[in-house]
Structure 1
Amino acid sequence: MKKAAGQVQRGRGRPRCFDQEAALERAVLLFWDRGYEATSLDELSAAMGISLSSLYATFGGKEQLFRTAVDRYLARGGGAMDRIFAEEPTARGAVRRLLETAADEFTRPEHPSGCMIALAGTQCSPDARPVQDLMRGHREAWHASLQARIQRGMEDGELASDTDAAALATFYVTVLLGMSVQARDGASPESLRAAVEAAMRAWPGPGAPLAP
């Protein structure tokens, strides 16, 4: 007999008759809104519409569920940063598009404001250090990707050869993460786009490296 869509069966026990993808999506939204440590297992169970035993059996507990939720959150963007950096012909254009996209995405009313990677694991107790390390690793990957795009701009002659690519990447990652905090505080997409315009005025031109 063919299993109904959304049903998950494990071993010889009773099938868990719930939509695993829908339950995971609700977990993403809760973690995104409240952060890792401020979200309790009871709240997750209620939001996902499943029992605690089903949560553990299916997702492996709170930390593993959070890791799965982070993967799902990142998949939402479909590799947006890499795509933007590949499509835009200049590093400046790539950074502008990245920030403008963030201004829109961070303020959409259909999901929690801001960025889950920026907000959901910044303040954790020692017991949750692996979660904090996970999120920091994703942010460091963003910095590395941005620095690589800036270095490519230097190789193309768009930026002076003595531009401090690491410092410039740090500046624009700081802008990106700061926009996430501003969005959580209620900033409008228009105000964030105005911040993008201000940040882009700091972009160094050929022969004008970022000042120390």
Structure 2
Amino acid sequence: MQAFWDQGYCATSMTRLVSATKLNPGSIYAAFNSKEGLFLAALDHYGKLSTEKIRRALGESDSPLAGIRDYFKSLAGTASDSEAERSCFLVNTILELARHNKNVQLRVNAHFEAIEACFRTALETAQSTGELPAGKDPAALAAFLMSSIWGVRVLGGTGPAPGRTDAVINQVLKLLD
């Protein structure tokens, strides 16, 4: 996964993949059928990790909205920590491949839908307990929150800008009030 994350799909050679995986080319092809197959497996792995991280953050808090707030506040800390944390494999993939590769587009959309569903469930729970005002639309807010994650990740990719990232996150969280 790291080789594709660091260099993108097109720039990652089979030589680099052999070095990164410690497998010979025949083993890579036997396991994944192609470079694209390995890439899709890496993308799925990353998407599942991302979704699980959000699900865990939402489940560890005292309330659904507190979980969402805690998750977004954690983004402020990771948005510019290191090269690995400053970029997002899903966002990088969208920018490089999603418009040109239907398999990639479908996979990225599935991961986005899973993340959005985590937020929608939390927001619906918050609304049913009175924590989120009745006039708020959980589905629309969930889509906005999901989109906001990627915006923060893109901002982080432009270099350290904690003040700007914090300001964006604070505006996102105001919509939950």
Structure 2 length-normalised TM: 0.82
Higher helix share goes to which structure? 2
In structure 2, C-alpha distance between the alignment counterparts of 1:157 and 1:81, rounded to whole Å: 22
Query: Which residue of structure 2 aligns with residue 115 of structure 1?
Result: 88
Residue in 1 aligned with 2:105? 132
Alignment-derived partner of residue 163 in structure 1: 136
Q: Which has the higher contact order (CA 8 A, sep 6+)?
A: 2
Unpaired stretches in structure 2, ≥5 consecutive residues: none
Letter in 1 for 2:141: L
8 Å CA contact retained: 2:148, 2:172: yes
Correspondence 1:192 to 2:165: yes
Give the corresponding residue for 1:100.
Answer: 73
Report the aligned-residue RMSD. Answer: 2.7
d(CA) in 1 for partners of 2:11 and 2:79?
A: 20
Q: Tell me the distance in 2 between the aligned counterparts of 1:115 and 1:58.
A: 25
Deviations 1:106-149 (A, max 9, x none): 43327363221232244427762101210111011111211111
The aligned length equals 177
1:62 aligns with 2:35: yes
Q: Mind listing any 5+ residue stretches in structure 1 that lack a counterpart?
A: 1-27, 205-212
The TM-score with structure 1 as length reference comes to 0.70
Deviation at 1:62, TM superposition (A): 1.3
In structure 2, the partner of 1:179 is 152
Alignment counterpart, residue 79 of structure 1, candidates 39, 49, 52: 52
**Conservation of the 8 A alpha-carbon contact between 1:147 and 1:168:** yes
Render the CA deviation track for 1:144-180: whole Å, top value 9, x for unaligned: 2111110110000012223111221122212111011
Does the residue aligned with 2:73 lie in a helix, a strand or coil? helix
